[in-house]
Structure 1
Amino acid sequence: MGNFEGKVALITGAGHGIGKGIARQFAEAGANTVIVDYNAETGEETAKEITNEFVKSIFVQADVSDPEAFVRVRDKVFEEFGRIDILVLNAGVAFANKVNDISFEEWSKTISINLTGLFNTVKAFYNDFLMNKGSIVYISSGSALSGTGGGVSYPASKAGGEGLIRGLAKELGPKGVNVNAIAPRLIDSGKMMRVNYPTEESLNAVLEKIPVRRFGTIEDVANLTLFLADKANSYIQGQTILLDGGRTIA
């Protein structure tokens, strides 16, 4: 794990689950963290918890699909810390509906949060990254490759996000900014896995498809996020790294 003392990492969707785990790992490595989430209760609780255990963390409530909200987020970050070094684009939503079942509202919400939300976040901090030469990590999904996830809007939005990341890598790489994506599959973060695999039988069946014979953990995702954010690994650029225990090759 790299040393991130004096750095500032902003993580969207960090009030719970994978985002929270990533924020905690950055804090443990010395970084001040900015917890951005739509849920004020879990966001505040996470920021307080991290501040008490590690170093200063602040919570800023925002809807990633609202570009004006991220102008305010940026102002708050610079008011508190005066800098930004790392963006972790983690916020997302999923609807497990097939084409004939999903509503236009659900489709639009998925795209506005999972794809437009990435653009809004990066856009707000774009000029800061040109100056500070930091790192951007997008938490995508293996669904972008496999088309799984229970519906069509989710993998479509995640695949779009990976395209955005590759474009950003080309644009920002010459400026010294590292941009990469992580595509997790079958991460045991609680609720989502139980929705897709509600019984022990279904869980055991999919476990047999994973060569390492275990599900991924929040810590697995957080460890790789820190690795990609570390400028010591800056020759990795524009990549989407599958984090799936070898399932995709099985």
Structure 2
Amino acid sequence: MGRRFEGKVAVVTGAAHGIGKQIAFQFASEGANVVIADYNQEQGAATADEIVSSYARCLFVKTDVSSYSDMEAARKRTIEEFGKVDILVLDAGVAFKNRFQDISLDEWNRTLSINLTGLFTTVKAFIDDLVVSKGSIVYISSGSAASGTGGGVSYPASKAGGEGLIRGLAKEFGPQGVNVNAIAPRLIDTGAMMRVNYPTQEALDAVLSKIPVRRFGTTEDVANLTLFLADKANSYIQGQTILLDGGRTVA
């Protein structure tokens, strides 16, 4: 049986580590050539080397997603290396945990410049290629967009804005064959970061009791859904934000 994304080209922002890294690896394992667009030179290059040694061709491009010129340069390098773009995964983001009264204007602007303007600049740079390939866009949002929790107020505000952008893109580019959807994970176990937010076993047990499936989400869970939405076999799903939370929100 052939691999789902054989010969496809997937660009993943924020793929140097965490969820984005897992997404990049799973695309590569399914035959895709992968471009890692990330600000972290050391981790990004190391991740690209891992993918090359295990699976397929992989290109790392150091980028600041809030810079349109950086994203144009990333697009140019991608086309030079692979000749096309089929899939764009928007995972790059930052979060601060300050209360509203403590958030500085600089912190607010930085969050939105990366988490929201960064979506605009990235899609703007790649959209013409995605129209040609009739490709897919998947945005990694957050359950915070609906719950208002996590990362103070700037983070959920930026994620809610991103979901609005995704709906607008789905409406505009759906007729041109581009699929656009979002995933809203809640409480994904990425290791050390979750332990910062829930430092004791009691705290972990308390939140786990609120999740009907009785486990925390994994980076593999997010990657599995990302690949599902990027697969054109599922192209009738359009303009959606899928909550990935083990049933916690409805419970």
Give the TM-score, by structure 2 length: 0.98
Structure 1 residue 132, shift from structure 2 partner: 1.1
Q: How many residues are aligned here?
A: 250
| Structure 2 alignment gaps of length 5 or more | none
Q: Which residue does 2:146 correspond to in 1? A: 145
Asked if the contact 1:2–1:227 (Cα under 8 Å) also holds between the matched residues in 2, the reply is: no
> Deviation string for 1:77-108 (max 9, x for gaps)?
00100000000000000000111011111110
Structure 1 residue 232, shift from structure 2 partner: 0.1
When residues 216 and 2 of structure 1 are mapped into structure 2, their CA distance, relative to the original with a 3 A threshold, is farther
Cα RMSD (Å) of the superposition? 1.0
Structure 1 residue 46, shift from structure 2 partner: 0.3
Q: Which residue does 2:59 correspond to in 1? A: 58
1:198-237 to structure 2, matched below 5 A, reads 198-237=199-238
Within 1, Cα distance between the matches of 2:196 and 2:230? Answer: 31
Deviating 4+ runs (over 2 angstroms) = none
Within 1, Cα distance between the matches of 2:196 and 2:162? Answer: 24
Determine if the alignment matches structure 1 residue 131 to structure 2 residue 132. Answer: yes
Structure 1 residue 191, shift from structure 2 partner: 3.1
Within 2, Cα distance between the matches of 1:185 and 1:151? Answer: 15
Q: Which residue does 1:32 correspond to in 2? A: 33
Structure 1 residue 150, shift from structure 2 partner: 3.8
Q: Secondary structure at the match of 2:66?
A: coil
When residues 211 and 136 of structure 1 are mapped into structure 2, their CA distance, relative to the original with a 3 A threshold, is same
Q: Which residue does 2:78 correspond to in 1? A: 77
Structure 1 residue 146, shift from structure 2 partner: 0.3
Asked if the contact 1:150–1:196 (Cα under 8 Å) also holds between the matched residues in 2, the reply is: no
Q: Which residue does 1:197 correspond to in 2? A: 198
State the identity as a percent.
72
> Deviation string for 1:121-147 (max 9, x for gaps)?
000011111211100000000000000
Q: Secondary structure at the match of 1:149?
A: coil
Q: Secondary structure at the match of 2:182?
A: strand
Give, as a single letter, the amino acid of the residue that structure 2 aligns with 1:22: I
Give, as a single letter, the amino acid of the residue that structure 1 aligns with 2:66: S
Give, as a single letter, the amino acid of the residue that structure 1 aligns with 2:4: N
Asked if the contact 2:3–2:31 (Cα under 8 Å) also holds between the matched residues in 1, the reply is: no
Asked if the contact 1:43–1:59 (Cα under 8 Å) also holds between the matched residues in 2, the reply is: yes
